[in-house]
């Protein structure tokens, strides 16, 4: 059963984002640029892990929800995330939690999907839930295979985290997508896919 763990105390003044986005400052700057452009009202993250990117999101977006399935990691994050009252941490499998949360999200919505690290990937189920809501959102999938680049991406056996894995789910008359083309030299150099869903209908190509 998913559980709710709101963060009640005021944020600290520390700079606490050094490892966000796998230490990729360029990806962080792109997210900031997108937020200035679209004024997202809410952010949703799957795969809290150690909370580095969660903290970066909390310093940008007015409301942040983050979902973590691992019991120990969820508990370990509570003290750190308690410094950010705009963060609500949720515990459980991300698709199950998202189904309960979906009616409480605000749009335009920013989504960071980073929970695909175990053998049982939730990515396709996450996308089905998100894309079923026909409201403007931007979905960023991390650890994604970028064609023509040597960025790292997730892979389990023969399955790659790639367009071949999720492309059939995208409503192409409602979406457009781009990849990251550069990564900060000191970063872990991970690939990323940006999916704009109904963000700018006049600019979306079929």
Domain ranges in the chain?
3-203
Q: What is the pLDDT of residue 119?
A: 73
d(CA 51, CA 73): 9
Cis peptide before 108 (omega within 30 of 0): yes
| Tokens of residue 150, six digits | 């040597």
Burial class (CB in 10 A: 0-12, 13-18, 19+), 195: buried
- How would you write the pLDDT of the chain (206 residues) with one tens digit per residue? 444 444 333 344 344 566 899 999 999 999 999 999 999 999 999 999 999 999 999 999 999 999 999 999 999 999 999 999 999 999 999 999 999 999 999 999 999 999 977 778 899 999 999 999 999 999 999 999 999 999 999 998 889 999 999 999 999 899 999 999 999 999 999 999 999 999 974 433 33
Q: What is the pLDDT of residue 1?
A: 41
Q: What is the pLDDT of residue 116?
A: 79
Q: With contact defined as beta carbons under 8 Å apart, do 138 and 131 qualify?
A: no
Q: What is the pLDDT of residue 158?
A: 86
Q: What is the pLDDT of residue 16?
A: 55
CATH number of 3-203: 3.40.50.150
Classified as helix, coil or strand, 123 is: helix
Look up the pTM and report it.
0.88
Q: What is the pLDDT of residue 117?
A: 72
| Tokens of residue 60, six digits | 């940008």
Q: What is the pLDDT of residue 41?
A: 97
């Amino acid at each position: 059963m998913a559980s709710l763990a709101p963060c009640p105390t005021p944020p600290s003044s520390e700079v606490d984002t050094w490892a966000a986005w796998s230490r990729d400052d360029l990806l962080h700057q792109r997210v900031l640029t997108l937020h200035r452009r679209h004024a997202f009202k809410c952010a949703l993250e799957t795969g809290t892990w150690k909370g580095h990117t969660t903290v970066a999101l909390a310093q940008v977006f007015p409301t942040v929800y983050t979902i973590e399935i691992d019991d120990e990691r969820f508990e370990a994050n509570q003290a750190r995330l308690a410094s950010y009252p705009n963060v609500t941490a949720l515990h459980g499998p991300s698709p199950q939690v998202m189904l309960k949360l979906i009616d409480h999200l605000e749009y335009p919505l920013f989504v960071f999907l980073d929970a695909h690290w175990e053998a049982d990937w939730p990515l396709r189920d996450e996308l089905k839930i998100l894309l079923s809501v026909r409201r403007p959102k931007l979905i960023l999938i991390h650890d994604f295979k970028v064609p023509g680049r040597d960025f790292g991406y997730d892979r389990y056996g023969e399955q790659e985290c790639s367009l071949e894995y999720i492309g059939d789910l995208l409503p192409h008359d409602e979406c457009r997508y781009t990849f990251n083309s550069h990564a900060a030299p000191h970063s872990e150099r991970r690939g990323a896919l940006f999916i704009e869903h109904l963000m700018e209908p006049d600019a979306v190509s079929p």
